[in-house]
Amino acid sequence: MISGRCAACRYLRRRCPSDCIFAPYFPPNNPQRFAAVHRIFGASNVGRMLQQLPPDLRAQAADTLYYEAECRVEDPVYGCVGVISRLHEQIDEAECELAKTRADIVINSDIGQQAQVQQLHDEVEDN
């Protein structure tokens, strides 16, 4: 029954067993999902990694393996480590911006206090 095979078994041109480790996570209507993980990790590694997990965690693992595989296909040098580097830069920028803003508060409150003192002096002198 060819039409019932999952994307992995179609790709590997084999019968899809009823307890196929790939079938729940690689449906036949999304063949590029399996093609990506197969290209980067290899079918047997993906099967083994899923098999070693409890069934309720396999869907998440399949999703993250697919994400990693897609990143590596798009960026063969850095893969999703490139994403991590960019996020670290973004955190550095946000923290730098926060430190600057906090410094501005201190400076502005000092200037404000000085201006207030000056204004009091002026007021007293005028009267």
Helix boundaries (H) for the chain: 7-11, 31-41, 43-51, 55-74, 80-126
Binding region for a second copy (CB under 8 A) out of 1-9, 10-18, 24-32, 41-49: 41-49
Binding region for a second copy (CB under 8 A) out of 4-12, 13-21, 22-30, 106-114: 106-114
Residues in contact with a second copy, total (CB under 8 A)?
48
State the residue for tokens 């946000």: 94
Q: How far does the chain reach from its first CA to its final CA, in angstroms?
A: 100
Listing DSSP states for 28-61 in one string gives TT-HHHHHHHHHHH-HHHHHHHHHTS-HHHHHHH
Of positions 15, 24, 32, 44, contacts a second copy by CB under 8 A: 44
Contacts with a second copy, residue ranges (CB under 8 A): 39-42, 44-45, 49, 52-53, 57, 60-61, 64-65, 67-68, 72, 76-84, 87-88, 90-91, 94-95, 97-98, 101-102, 104-105, 108-109, 112, 115-116, 119-120, 123-124, 127
